[in-house]
Structure 1
Amino acid sequence: METQLTTGFGVMLGLATFMFGAFFFIASTSINNELKIEKRHEYLANLRATREAMYNAESLTRAFLLEPQPKYANEVNTVASTIPQHIQNLQSNITDWYETRNLTRLNDISGKRINALLEIIHARKEKGVSAALPLMRAYDESDERNILQTLVSRLEASEQEHLQNQRDETRNVIPTTAWVFSLLGLFVFSGFFYLVRRMYSGISYRRHIEDEAARKAEELSKLNEKLIQSERIKSEFVATVSHELRTPLTLILAPLESILAGDAGKISNEQRGHMNTMHNNTVRLLQLISGLLDFSRLEAGRIEMRPEATNINELTQSILSDFSPATSQKQIELITNFPATATNVEIDRYVYERILFNLVSNAVKFTPVGGNVVVTIDRKGTDSWTLSVKDNGIGIPEADIELIFHRFRQAEAPSTRRFEGAGLGLALVVEFSRLLNGKVEVESKPGEGSTFSVDFVAAESRLTAGDTTRNKSQSLVPQYPTETNKTLSVDYDDKPLVLVAEDNTELSAYISSVLESFCRVNVAKNGRDALDLVRLSPPDLILSDIMMPEMDGLTLCKEIKADPLYNSIPVILLTALTNRDALLRGWESGADEYLFKPFHPKELTTRIKGMLAGVEERKRSAELQLQQQKTLLAKDFMSTLAHDMQVPLLGSSRVFDMLLGGQLGKMPEEITTLIGQIQERNKFLLKLTDCLLEIYRYESDSKDLLLAPVALDEIAKEVVVDFAEIAAEKQIVVQEHLEPNVPKISADSRALKLLITHLLDNAIKYGANSGKVSITVEQEHDELALSVFNSGSFIDDESKKNLFDKFWRGQPGKRFVANTGLGLYLCKRIVDAHGGIIECLSDTERGTTLKVTLPVNNKKVATKLSFVPGDKAETK
């Protein structure tokens, strides 16, 4: 019995010991598993952090390519420094040789990828986006990217597998050793089956990831190609338009300078004053176009450096001599500090001239009357030089210093800026200084002035310097007319009082001269002065420009309309912006009417007289316009550019009409002939300017179709009458073949008139003198056919493929007439919107026919056109 008890106790003790041991084993196993799970989570976190760091570095590098801000490059370096730490943390938690090998490969490849990104950033900083883009493309197409993604996926999948196993072990441990050992075989089998299944799933997932990565890479490559092509087309178009603008500007400047020099005979003082106004505005426009041309050449990488032996002192003095009239007019003292000994250096004269010209022009513009500008050339070393331009002007706030070097950006808002310009000058200085292996620095304090310094490299030359004088007759620096602010007019008769708010002194003086025959005129140079004059002596009407310093025209209009004492005064806004959003901003501010630049004097007087005669009717019209509620879009570079280009064109165009009409007195026949030639170039220049405005409208808005029954033959007759004079100049009689009683179609009459105008203008423009041009309207079954024929041109099959493309201007070497490549593109879009077809039929014997077929009963007419036609149906 004792033996049995002892045996039973021993068995019980053994079982208890076994159970205790089993409990201790299970508890320790659970704790150990929890620690392992925690490490697995830490491992996965580091792995994912490594992947995220690589993605962040790539994203920041792409952002730096678009906008090379130093903060992006610094962030890439910061992110890159975290990747080795993450990999080191991963290596401290590895559990087998498989992970060790993959982590080694991950470390090597990630290091190479980071170095590639840093190289891209360095190329973008030093050589520009054109050098960095190929490196970025090579980076995206590299096999290492797919290998890196595959390694991370493998490591993550492997670690997820280990983590899941640890969780399964913790969850499935039984609190008795019997269950543990009895189910051990099942666990092993299940684990083996699970591993096989996970391995198969991992392989499938990896293949899916690789296929998806390949697809994404292909899509990205195609997108990059489209972006590069789009950027190239844009740059080529800007360069082409800028170049064609320079030709008529040159032909305007040359005769003007001949007249001003007295080569064509004597002119009166009044005529000379108008001629100087025309010359000043044409020079401003030429400088703007030169900046655009330089910008497009820099974008396309087409500026080739041509160093030559140059006496830098003489070249600088020659450039500064252009500024003598402008500095004298503003009473600015131009001080020079040059090296005592003149030195010949190897430098690209054009690049140096553009740097100095832009810096001095900027200094003179922002320096007040009676100030000073100091130009200093200092030699820092054997081949190192510093050019500095210092002024005591308005200065630049510290927050805006970086902004002024951005393209098309200015420190002031476009609607309230005090100084004209497109925001390209200082940006071009930065780009040109890089071509000279230099850099630009600026020191400025608001109210005290600014100093711009350009450090550049120019080796000393042993050759004799060439002629540093440049071909010039009149100064190519815009002059700064003296401001003449009118207060109340001294004429106290019963004439109505008109307040003109315009910051351009020449334009305000011209408007005053046109209006003073039938009304009294007060002039204010900005919105703030205009508001003071309104409160001092309320006018009968206000004519205000939109873009003015201190207070813009929109704010002025809002202030007046918000005041019960003055809200009945009609306001006409003067602007060069014709897009829908710009108009809506004016209507929402309470404007009664718009007047678009450039305008005809008769249009100006008619609008003013009409507003003065019917104030109540204008108010009701303004109230209807104010009911339109739409979202405003920010103005871009094109709107500012259009404003700056239209202002000088306005002054020139008005004076041309007055001179040719004899309103300023008789002039010698030679001068009249020259002015006639200038007028022809100016018309072409206005047409190109309108083209730029239309492009801005095409990209920023859409036009609703106003559908109504339209008689196509009646519209055709109207257009033929409009072109009678133009056709007569080429001895062409437009023949009409209009089938009677053709049915009306559902269409937008304004769009169809624009369509026929483009087609007929195209036929006359490319037709031969005394040739045949005809327009035909006839019914073909359920459709109306409109055909415009000319006998003077032939279009080959290759050209037909691109005839209706945007900006297509004909095969190179075959362009006989200047055009912008938009006319037939507009025709195609109008026809498509009306559900019709346009085609070109041409042969060498008969000529060319552009045929449009429109359905009579069309149920698929588009509700909107994807462009906004101009107010005038002119061929672009």
Structure 2
Amino acid sequence: RLQYLRVIRRNAYRLLRLIDDLLDLSRLDAGGLRLNLAEVDIRALAATVRENSMPAALARSIVLTFAAVPSDKRVWADAHRLEIVLTNLIGNALKFTPPGGAIEIRVEDLADGVQVVVCDTGPGIPADALPRVFERFFQVSSGEQRREGGVGIGLALAKELVELHGGTIEAASTFGEGTTFTVFLPFGRDHIRPETIERREAAVQVPHGRRRAEDPSGVTAAVRDGLPASPPAGAPAAVLPAVSDSARRARIVLAEDNVELQQFIRGLLVEEFDLFTADDGDEAWELVNRERPDLVISDVMMPGRTGTRLCNDIKTDPALAATPVILLTARVGSEATLEGYAHGADDFVAKPFHPRVLLARVRAQLKLRALGLQLAEREKLAVVGTLAAGILHEVRNPVNSILNAARVLAGGNATPDLAAKLLAVIGDGAQRIQGITSALEAHARPAEAGGFALCDVHEGLDATLLLLEHRMSVVTVHRDFAATARAAAPPGALNQVFLNIIDNALRSGASKLFIATASDGSVVIVRIGDDGPGIPPEVVQRIFDPFFTTRKVGAGTGLGLYLSRKIVEDCRGRIHYQNRPGGGAEFVVELPAAKAPLAPPAPEARGAG
């Protein structure tokens, strides 16, 4: 309990400092911020801020140096406001400088003023982002470049406070090498606008350590906006339960860059689930690929990959797409929620959240995942049943013919003419079985490395028709095939799409199938239509939804078309439904055309029609 109270206190003061900054910005906007002017020794002020920042620098193994030539020159300034400026600049450098790096603070006298330079050996700022670093709420947040958290007001506030003093602040950076901020403050006070000066000026300089004295937690402003705070002296280390090795427990990857919040969530979940924690989006992506978790919980505004990008990467990877993702976000409003859902998020939890709410949503997503896997398995078994019935029907007749012919030949009483006819029957039956096995092989053929292969669409359609031929005795198939139709897709998965569509057509009672292909070299188009009753207009928008079916209860899982669309979209294609001219249903599948030539397919039996 004491450890949680310390966490609450530290974050309360962090929030208080953020509120102070926002209030300063609002006063600046309203023209109500006044400077409490005094003659300030900026060298002593910079040295004090550097001293207050040393614990954070030591914690990150960063060398923080200060250099200044002794001078008795002073500047007219509000010491408290300048402390905020220096604290923000040094704190920003601490956040972005990697462990083992260096930060230098220099104070230099110029002819007409004093110059303060803060330079670091961090990753630098991209050239296109450099002009915007002083904008309010702007962050270098393009994936890998944003290595630390924050809200994007520190530099904006620093710029406006410096300009209120009649000074200037500039940023220079070489991407990949480091960043330098330079503050210039003129001597004298004539350059400061009279309306910005507090009428009751301070007789003495404001103490440099004011903010630190107001913060009994020991967390200085130098570690603001997400820097890890050193625990108070003598505070016991947080002890978290060990993660169980039980394989029966759900596996969860937790990505959260705030150390305290990460530990809190881990403590909440670790007794029930196996937890794998990551401090940034890139580490989370590695964990997801290595551990194949049952669920991912991710902060949105994360270092490295953002939470939305991590979610998008998971959902666009066929091997990971079924993994549910819960996003944690401090952003409110429908826009943030819609953005997350657009990247495939399964649920949102807004910060701050009640622990029971997060736990309940985690359990709910895991139950939904388990149910989805069970239904997907049922769909696979249903497809296997369809294939098995087709194989049984198609193989039984030629096998019986072969056995009967062989039995007569074995008797030794067949005339030469009869023997020749019986051998022809055996040959025909064997070729028929060979055609069926070739069709089955084409239907279930694995893709090449990476999941994709050069797929002959016509071969896949013919193989599917052959496997369903036992159900097509009264069905006429009309083909209108292009000269070639080669797509870049996993053949087995693509044939599954054809099987689902044609199976639905046969179940509708159709007596005619219309299958056409076309290709312009970049796209292959497959149209599969029928003369059945079609799909009622009121349900057309739902046919690709998971678990939706127009069949009787228990007669279908409602996953066939949903999985078909997913397969096609994973192939970078699209599938849609339309009413067929003259009545009936028609599904249109568009796929990227294969760019490399295919070897000629082996001869095989074609389906009915």
TM-score under structure 1 length normalisation = 0.37
1:363 to 2:98 alignment: no
SS at the partner of 1:393?
A: coil
Distance 1:586 1:431, change over 3 A: closer
Confirm or deny: 8 A CA contact 2:327 2:348 kept in the other structure.
Answer: yes
* Equivalent residue in structure 2 for 1:498, among 236, 252, 264: 252
Q: What residue number does 1:292 align with?
A: 22
Query: How much has 1:300 moved relative to structure 2?
Result: 1.1
Query: How much has 1:490 moved relative to structure 2?
Result: 6.0
1:425 to 2:162 alignment: no
Q: What residue number does 2:182 align with?
A: 453
SS at the partner of 2:83?
A: helix
Confirm or deny: 8 A CA contact 2:75 2:185 kept in the other structure.
Answer: no
Query: How much has 1:493 moved relative to structure 2?
Result: 4.5
Counterpart code for 1:283: Y
Distance 1:498 1:416, change over 3 A: farther
Q: What residue number does 2:9 align with?
A: 279
Confirm or deny: 8 A CA contact 1:442 1:452 kept in the other structure.
Answer: yes
1:392 to 2:121 alignment: yes
Cα distance in 1 for partners of 2:342, 2:371 equals 18
Query: How much has 1:338 moved relative to structure 2?
Result: 2.0
Cα distance in 2 for partners of 1:604, 1:579 equals 19
* Equivalent residue in structure 2 for 1:309, among 39, 42, 50: 39
Q: What residue number does 2:108 align with?
A: 378
SS at the partner of 1:583?
A: helix
Confirm or deny: 8 A CA contact 2:133 2:155 kept in the other structure.
Answer: yes
1:805-844 deviation line (CA, Å, top 9, x unaligned): xxxxxxxxxxxxxxxxxxxxxxxxxxxxxxxxxxxxxxxx
Confirm or deny: 8 A CA contact 1:390 1:451 kept in the other structure.
Answer: yes
Q: Which has the higher strand share?
A: 2
Counterpart code for 1:285: L
Distance 1:466 1:533, change over 3 A: closer
Q: What residue number does 2:228 align with?
A: 481
* Equivalent residue in structure 2 for 1:351, among 81, 88, 111: 81
Cα distance in 2 for partners of 1:322, 1:507 equals 25
* Aligned counterparts, 1:309-708, within 5 A: 309-381=39-111, 383-413=112-142, 417-459=146-188, 466=205, 468-471=207-210, 472=213, 473=216, 474-477=218-221, 478=223, 480-481=227-228, 491-615=245-369
Cα distance in 2 for partners of 1:578, 1:599 equals 13
Distance 1:313 1:517, change over 3 A: same
Query: How much has 1:433 moved relative to structure 2?
Result: 1.8
* Aligned counterparts, 1:803-822, within 5 A: none
1:222-269 deviation line (CA, Å, top 9, x unaligned): xxxxxxxxxxxxxxxxxxxxxxxxxxxxxxxxxxxxxxxxxxxxxxxx
Confirm or deny: 8 A CA contact 2:120 2:180 kept in the other structure.
Answer: yes
Distance 1:370 1:379, change over 3 A: same
Query: How much has 1:445 moved relative to structure 2?
Result: 0.9
Counterpart code for 1:481: P
Counterpart code for 1:441: E
SS at the partner of 1:607?
A: helix
Distance 1:333 1:280, change over 3 A: farther
Distance 1:586 1:303, change over 3 A: closer
Query: How much has 1:395 moved relative to structure 2?
Result: 1.0
Cα distance in 1 for partners of 2:283, 2:143 equals 19
Counterpart code for 1:348: D
SS at the partner of 1:397?
A: coil
Q: What residue number does 2:573 align with?
A: none
Unaligned runs of 5+ in 2: 190-201, 231-237, 376-609
Cα distance in 1 for partners of 2:74, 2:309 equals 55
Counterpart code for 2:125: I
Cα distance in 2 for partners of 1:534, 1:374 equals 39
Q: Which has the higher helix share?
A: 1
SS at the partner of 2:361?
A: helix
Query: How much has 1:355 moved relative to structure 2?
Result: 1.9
SS at the partner of 2:128?
A: helix
Cα distance in 1 for partners of 2:364, 2:99 equals 40
Confirm or deny: 8 A CA contact 1:416 1:548 kept in the other structure.
Answer: no
SS at the partner of 1:572?
A: strand
Q: Which has the higher contact order (CA 8 A, sep 6+)?
A: 2
Cα distance in 1 for partners of 2:153, 2:28 equals 12
1:692-751 deviation line (CA, Å, top 9, x unaligned): xxxxxxxxxxxxxxxxxxxxxxxxxxxxxxxxxxxxxxxxxxxxxxxxxxxxxxxxxxxx
1:158-204 deviation line (CA, Å, top 9, x unaligned): xxxxxxxxxxxxxxxxxxxxxxxxxxxxxxxxxxxxxxxxxxxxxxx
Distance 1:421 1:566, change over 3 A: closer
Query: How much has 1:467 moved relative to structure 2?
Result: 6.0
Distance 1:280 1:482, change over 3 A: closer
Distance 1:342 1:468, change over 3 A: farther
Q: Which moved more, 1:451-460 or 1:411-420?
A: 411-420
Cα distance in 2 for partners of 1:620, 1:586 equals 27
Counterpart code for 1:401: L
SS at the partner of 1:402?
A: helix
SS at the partner of 1:614?
A: helix
Query: How much has 1:386 moved relative to structure 2?
Result: 0.7
Counterpart code for 2:141: E
Query: How much has 1:619 moved relative to structure 2?
Result: 8.8
Confirm or deny: 8 A CA contact 2:10 2:219 kept in the other structure.
Answer: no
1:62-93 deviation line (CA, Å, top 9, x unaligned): xxxxxxxxxxxxxxxxxxxxxxxxxxxxxxxx
1:92-135 deviation line (CA, Å, top 9, x unaligned): xxxxxxxxxxxxxxxxxxxxxxxxxxxxxxxxxxxxxxxxxxxx
Cα distance in 1 for partners of 2:93, 2:62 equals 10
Cα distance in 2 for partners of 1:423, 1:378 equals 28
Query: How much has 1:522 moved relative to structure 2?
Result: 0.6
Counterpart code for 1:398: A
Distance 1:546 1:518, change over 3 A: same
Distance 1:431 1:516, change over 3 A: same
Q: What residue number does 1:249 align with?
A: none
Distance 1:435 1:535, change over 3 A: closer
Unaligned runs of 5+ in 1: 1-269, 622-876
Query: How much has 1:317 moved relative to structure 2?
Result: 2.3
Q: What residue number does 2:519 align with?
A: none
Counterpart code for 1:355: V
TM-score under structure 2 length normalisation = 0.52
Distance 1:618 1:482, change over 3 A: farther
* Aligned counterparts, 1:21-420, within 5 A: 271=2, 273-381=3-111, 383-413=112-142, 417-420=146-149
Counterpart code for 1:476: T
Query: How much has 1:385 moved relative to structure 2?
Result: 0.9
Confirm or deny: 8 A CA contact 1:396 1:445 kept in the other structure.
Answer: yes
Counterpart code for 2:220: L
Confirm or deny: 8 A CA contact 1:313 1:342 kept in the other structure.
Answer: no
SS at the partner of 2:70?
A: coil
Counterpart code for 1:600: H
Cα distance in 2 for partners of 1:389, 1:563 equals 43
Confirm or deny: 8 A CA contact 1:325 1:475 kept in the other structure.
Answer: no
Confirm or deny: 8 A CA contact 1:310 1:465 kept in the other structure.
Answer: no
Cα distance in 1 for partners of 2:59, 2:80 equals 27
* Aligned counterparts, 1:724-873, within 5 A: none
Query: How much has 1:504 moved relative to structure 2?
Result: 2.0
Counterpart code for 2:54: S
Distance 1:456 1:396, change over 3 A: same
Query: How much has 1:420 moved relative to structure 2?
Result: 2.0
- Decide which structure has the larger Cα Rg and report it: 1
Query: How much has 1:547 moved relative to structure 2?
Result: 2.2
Task: Give the CA RMSD over aligned residues.
Answer: 3.2
